Every structure is written in structure tokens, then in C-alpha cells.
Structure 1
């Protein structure tokens, strides 16, 4: 019987790769690839404990729709794996609040009206992965913070919260402030705002304003242009009432969002749902060079996809779990209501010009969770 061959000195075992090299690999992996890589062997698992996945695709978060200590969690759906994760306990008042904005894995939470006393709104910021919480000072309002914006530097923990106070004026609160401050620049009746690269993009039915927040003091308005070239008045309401059909289904719906692309281009996305229809139609307009009320209609987003809830685009080419040339959006009920209809999640593909609903069989076991939105979680920790 022949003796076994001696080991080849030029053959290297994957488990013997240097730790520094493995960390470079792990830091470039998405969530699913990260989970698979750490199960290769014990040495890879050991190195993975000092790394975090680099997520670049949107996840879906589903919130509880009823208050109570039994609903102090939410569900996270990863489209790449088509798998649902349940968060740990997020606090006794989590189900008594609702999420009005997200930034990476941070949520801006606002109390539901039935749990409030008077018109004092006590908002807080919550990291749903680590449960770190930042309480914000109260402010008085009839409707709370509308068009809210949340931004956080995850390394320094500097944060900024912006929103409209009863649609009359914009207010802000950042780390180090002792109270909410009114933004001096006139921003009235804004219904869509995006914060990107220290610039605030504010849209109403008349103008688009861009404010620069890079300074330490008062933000400066750096740009203003008319949007009348791509916006039309809000469609009418009921028309002829039809018996046996809920009023909300007889209304036509019209929603407009400002979106900022990866390259910094400004888009206006019009969402229209006709009366008696459950289908949303979309129109996308790009601001041309120089502004001055010059907009062109887009028919393609190329290799990007729009996350409408966040007002940004992300690279979708060669990214498993996300579809290029698509709009990821939710079909929300007004967030200031205490009673929520089932809030579904949709994807509109501009290639097929069709809307597809994200069917989640995993959610059937959790009927108490119905409100949903897309978000872009970050698993990086400094």
C-alpha cells in the first residue's frame, strides 16, 4: 500500500490567512455574505467578532400598531436573504410612540396622541440595534413635528433634528442645544425635506430652498428656485360619493417628494393614486443646470434606486436584494393618527412601469405589526 503524499508546502489553508487580511475582507462584505463567511471555520468566526458587515441595501422595518408592553419590539426584513429578524425589547414606551424619521439604524420617535398630556411633544432618538437612547426636550405643538429630518454622526454622536412646527415655521435641535430653535430663513408650508451632505432641501408648492448647515451658527440659504414647472395643484377630493365604499378609498391621493441623488442632483418625485384605485403612478423630474424653474422629466434612474422615505438614491447595480431603476416606497396612513390601517411596502420599477407589493409570509405570525417603512441600517460601530 502506497504511503500518503506529503503535504504540498505551496498549498495554503484558508483558515490560516492573516487576521489583518481577513478583517479587510469582512469589512467589505454585506450582511448576508458576512453571516456566511463567519461560519467558514473557527478562525474566521473569531476574526468576525471584531468586524461589522457593510450594508448597502435597504431593509424593511415593521412597527407595532398597538400600544402595550407586549409590543415593545419590531421586525427587520432583509430582502437579500428574504429573512425576518426580531429586535430585542426596545423599551416600554416604544409601542406608545411611532417612528417619524430614520437615519441609518437610528429612529426618531414621537409619542402617540392618546398617551400624551396636553400638546407637549417629547421626542427621542433610538438606535434599534444597540438600544442607545437620546431624549430630546419637549416642545408645544398641535400636530407634532412634521416633515421631520434626522441626521447623526455615528462616530462623534453629533446629531441634528429638523422639522416643521404646525407647518408655520421650521425648528431644529442639535447636540449641545438646550431648547428647540426656529430656523430664521423663511420656510413655510414645506411638505418634503431632505438633509444630505450638510445641506437641507426644502420643498413646498411654490419653491425649492436649499440651506447650508456646514457653519456653526445660523444656516445660510444658498439656492432658491420655482417648482411650478413640474408641480400641479392638488387634485380634487371625493367627486361623486359611492355607497358601500369607504371614504378613504374614494379619495384621490397626491404626494410629492424631493430626492437627492448620489451625484447631488435634485429630483422631484410625484406620486399619484387615483380615486377608487390602489395603484400608484410616478413621475420623476430632474432640476437642470442653473435651476430657474427648468426641469426635465426622467425616464430612467440608471443603476440607482430611490428610497422615497429617505429622499435619497442608492447604487443598485450588482447589489443582490435591490432592483435597479426602481422606487422603494411605503403606502402610509397619516402618521399623526392613533389608528393605523395596514401599511404595505411597494417597489415601482421604471422598466416595467409596474408596482409590485412585497409579500412577507413571515409577517403572518405577527399580526400586531402592520406599519412599515424602508430604511438603510448600519451595522458599523466606531
Structure 2
């Protein structure tokens, strides 16, 4: 009997095979060849969209935890010398050991190279590469050295339209973030967006052309290609409901709902006992200019049929079939100005129910895997 190549399998047989695969294996299978990819477009795989957890191990290995299947899938190869900055769906923003920036599909590991960091254009700020891990600002009165380890970034991808947007900046403790770099697909350089933000506390990139920023000075700003506008400036940040102990930490983040409403998320945790508390706030819809409550935030007691993914800074519709619980917060840590995958001091993989104020913790499941870092994501 003559050998039959995998690419020659009849469409009906191949479709039957694909429809029996789990979501992760389905993503891998459709990359086998063009024939399999075309067949996948006509197949109905097991429901996708379930929350997944990407895990980074001490030995450089990388795995994907599927909560509904209670199973860990290994990636096709180890990724020991790259830094993951952000993600959108399956696509991750990556900085390699040579300070080259690209985006990569975590399932197929297909990648798209991005312009070099020093290609930023816009007027005042220019960068010169000094070795593999250092950059120097040139053409200004300042002499500022930036380290690649301080690079922070955000990513937005629309897989169907094959569009993406990337934002990055160098995080500098106790200094202003004076500019942001931004590019979209099809561009060969980054655009400089003058920001002069009094140090960034948190950022969210929910769409291609709008970036939302929370600053330490209690401003929420919407930044676009042409500049920025204040959404709340400044607002009165709520105090913790109870006095914090010496071992407690309180952090603030922002999240964007599908309606476009901005949430301020207060996260309180104890560094030793690790009990988490979350409080949600939004802009007062009944504020009156000139009134003392003009910039006050009001408490949000319930997310209803939405779930908040704090790692991503968005809320999504809940779906029990996909394992997305309503009125819940999925997180692996609180995000902050220095957020990156390498900062795991507050790593704690949990789902928090807002109504019952209870936690489902997953970190203990991974302890024996030498877990270095982890992050929830929603596959596209």
C-alpha cells in the first residue's frame, strides 16, 4: 500500500479528526500545512475562548494551563532568553536578548518583527543603541541612559482584520514618563507621543487608537495618536475601607468595560497571609461642576454578567460554558507602573468572586513545577 501523506487526507476524515481535538491542539493542528489550515476554517472545534494561563518556568520552559480541562500543555520550544511585555489574545509582545521587539503567536510561534526601538520619530526625543541592552537619548539637553530591562509595553491585535498596535515606554522610578512610542501594522518606525505623565501607575490599550492611562497624580487620561485628553483630572482617590497593617499593600489599576466605561480597581493584599480584597469604582455620573463631589468616584458593587481580567485591564461577558464566571475577577497579580512578566513577587493565580468575597487559588497546583511567572489570557 502506497504511503499517504498527512496533507493528502480526505477533507471529511480530516475534519472529523480536528473536531475531536481540544482547543490548544486544534490551534497547533491547523498550522501543519495549508490543507489542514483550510480544513480548520470549515471545522467546528471544541468551544474556544476559555481563560488560559500562560506559565513561565525557572528552567526557561513555557506551558499553557487550560482551567476547564485541568491540564497543562507545553509550548513547542523553550523560551529562556526573552521577556514578555504584554499580550492580546494569542499574540504576545516580546523583547529578546538583543533588545529586538516583535509579536508572537503563542500557539504557532509565528512572529512579526517590529521596528527597532531607535527608529522612534516625532521631534524632541531620539534614541541611540549602545550595545544590546542599553539606549541613550540623543539630540536633547539631557543625558539619559535607558536599560532594556525597564522597557514596558502594551499590545492590541485584531486577528480577523490582521491589524495590530504597539505602545512602549521606558519606566523610570520617581521621574516623569515624558514620551510614549506607538506604531501600527504597516509602519517602519515608531511615532513619539509627548505624554509628560507624572509617572504612570497603569495603562490599558483596549483598541487600536486609544490608550487609557492612570497616573500617580490621580489623573485618568485618554491618549491618542495626536495627544491626550483628561477623562478625570484629578479625581479623588478612595481610601482603603479599613486601616492597613504594616504588611498590607494597596494598589490601583484601571480597566475598560465593553461599554467604554472606565473602572478604577483597588487591590489590597497582605504580603504574608495573602488574603486579597478588591473594590471597584467609577466616575460619578451625577457630578456637578463646582460641587465638592465633582471628581469623586463612586463604588461599583457588582459587575453583573461580566468578568474582569485584571491582567488584561478589560471586562468580558461571562460564560459558564467557557468557564468565565460572572461577577468575578481573574488575576495573577496586580498590574502597576513596573509591570512585566519577570516581576513575580506578588504572583498569586486566583479568581475572586465579588459577591461572596471568596477566592479560588490555583498557585498551589503549580508549585511543584518551579513556576516563575504566570498570566491569564483569552485566546482569540
TM more than 0.5: yes
Unaligned runs of 5+ in 2: 1-11, 28-37, 119-134, 136-145, 288-293
After TM superposition, give the deviation of residue 85 of structure 1 in Å. Answer: 1.7
8 A contact 1:149–1:194 mirrored in 2: yes
Equivalent residue number for residue 278 of structure 1: 274
RMSD: 3.7
- 1:184-263 equivalences in 2 (<5 Å): 184-197=194-207, 198-205=209-216, 206-212=218-224, 218-232=225-239, 250=247, 252-263=248-259
Q: Deviations over 1:291-337 (max 9, x none)?
A: 75242101111111100010001111443422211110113796669
Equivalent residue number for residue 82 of structure 1: 70
Q: Does 1:138 align with 2:123?
A: no
CA distance in 2, matches of 1:85, 1:150: 24
Match of 1:152 among 154, 157, 177: 157
Q: Deviations over 1:217-259 (max 9, x none)?
A: x3343443135323459x99995xxxxxxxxxx5x32221110
Q: 1:253 to 1:66 in 2, by over 3 A?
A: farther
After TM superposition, give the deviation of residue 350 of structure 1 in Å. Answer: 0.8
CA distance in 2, matches of 1:131, 1:100: 16
After TM superposition, give the deviation of residue 176 of structure 1 in Å. Answer: 3.5
User: Which stretch of structure 1 is more off in the superposition, 187-196 or 289-298?
Assistant: 289-298
Equivalent residue number for residue 58 of structure 1: 51
Q: TM-score, normalised by structure 1?
A: 0.69
Match of 2:298 among 284, 296, 299: 296
Equivalent residue number for residue 357 of structure 1: 361
After TM superposition, give the deviation of residue 281 of structure 1 in Å. Answer: 1.4
CA distance in 2, matches of 1:339, 1:313: 24
Which structure has more strand as a fraction of its residues?
A: 2
- 1:32-111 equivalences in 2 (<5 Å): 50-51=42-43, 53=45, 55-67=48-60, 71=61, 74-89=62-77, 94-111=79-96
Equivalent residue number for residue 185 of structure 2: 175
Q: Deviations over 1:82-138 (max 9, x none)?
A: 222222126xxx211232211000111234xxx56xxxx322211111211123313
Q: Which structure would you say has the larger Rg?
A: 1
8 A contact 2:268–2:276 mirrored in 1: yes
8 A contact 1:348–1:356 mirrored in 2: yes
CA distance in 1, matches of 2:286, 2:166: 29
After TM superposition, give the deviation of residue 290 of structure 1 in Å. Answer: 7.5
Q: What SS is found at the alignment partner of 1:344?
A: coil
Match of 1:374 among 361, 365, 376: 376
Q: TM-score, normalised by structure 2?
A: 0.69
Q: What SS is found at the alignment partner of 1:319?
A: helix
Equivalent residue number for residue 38 of structure 1: none
CA distance in 2, matches of 1:87, 1:347: 24
Q: What SS is found at the alignment partner of 1:211?
A: strand
8 A contact 2:310–2:334 mirrored in 1: no
CA distance in 1, matches of 2:311, 2:342: 20
Match of 2:104 among 114, 119, 126: 126
Unaligned runs of 5+ in 1: 1-18, 36-45, 213-217, 240-249
Q: 1:124 to 1:368 in 2, by over 3 A?
A: farther
Q: Deviations over 1:30-51 (max 9, x none)?
A: 949x99xxxxxxxxxx965633
After TM superposition, give the deviation of residue 189 of structure 1 in Å. Answer: 1.0
